[in-house]
Amino acid sequence: RDLGPEALKALDRELAPLREREQFLQYTFFQQWSALKNYCNQQGIRMIGDLPIYVNYDSADVWLHPEIFKLDADKKPYVVSGVPPDYFSETGQLWGNPIYRWEALRQTGFDWWIRRMEQNGRLCDLLRIDHFIGLESYWEIPAEEKTAVNGKWVPAPGEEFLKTFYQKFPLFPLIAEDLGSVTPAVRELMEKFSLPGMKVLLFAFSDDSANPYLPHNHIPHCILYTGTHDNNTVRGWFDGEASAENKKNLFRYLGRKVSAQEVADEFIRMAMMSVAERVILPIQDFLGLGAESRMNTPSLTEGNWKWRLMPGQITPELSDRLRNLTEIYGRA
């Protein structure tokens, strides 16, 4: 990985055809993406980008900027990313990404992070920071560990970073992915910079009336989803994941029992009538599709992002139904 100048020149000559092919593919992609984004913007459609807080060890970023990551003398991570054990996992989640040297980033005015967000801002109109809590504090795990159990919380300079970022880009619209266990310190950081968080209706029916994902507990300054790309479809959840208690809570909340054929429509209606300023509805839920149309299963490395919307699936009847709901709940 750490080649000298002469070795790099020789490798560049050897791999020139592959490099030029990749350059052409990227050039073509960015041309097409720019045309698509411009068209969407002309139609009044804004595009949301998704920015994972961490990058992969084998990324160009780590190779070019090893000084901003916690790497040993051989440029290998000695600590890695993840999240601690919780209700969903006794061993936590071991992600394995390199951890940032925030002190080194601070000394550059967070230059790499700011350029990263600036570049993503060229590709979209809003940017969601995945695992936003990692900007306030992060779970650091020794690289030799097999699970995330033996990690520790380490504070991060999120407030200083965001303040520096907004001094350069004061109107940049960010969304904080704040799902899961969120501390008061994270909430305070979000409030300080007026960042909207997320609500997911699929998480609403496993608890009592104080569940923050239930519609009557929503706040205006949030982004509401029936489910995200990491969740099942509503129909898929109802058919294969929802417990008897989940369904009981759902029926009590709706005031009646609903069938598998009806449940996605009920979730859409609940979302549209929420006080949330923005609502995002997966097209799979509008179509009432099941688990076979799920976009992504985070625990799987294969088979994700395969679903495609096919010509003819958006019918005039579906468009009329969406228009009707938009008008009824004042979301025009």
Residues designated catalytic: 130, 177, 230
- Joined together, the tokens standing for residue 53 give 């807080």
Q: Which residue has the tokens 């055809």?
A: 17
What are the residues facing 200 on neighbouring strands?
225
Alpha carbon 66 to chain centroid, angstroms: 25
Other CB atoms within a 10 A radius of the CB of residue 208 amount to 7
Residue type, 260: A
Helix axes 111-123, 158-168, angle to 10 degrees: 60
Q: Which residues contact 142 (CB under 8 A, 6 or more apart)?
A: 78, 79, 80, 150, 151
Residue 71 has, within 13 A of its CA and on its CB side, a CA count of 18
- CB-based contact 159:189 (threshold 8 Å): yes
Q: Which residues contact 16 (CB under 8 A, 6 or more apart)?
A: none
- CB-based contact 186:132 (threshold 8 Å): yes
> What's the CA gap between 100 and 156, in Å, rounded?
9
- Note the residue count of the chain: 332
CA 212, 184, 173, 67: dihedral to nearest 10 degrees?
-130
Residue type, 190: M
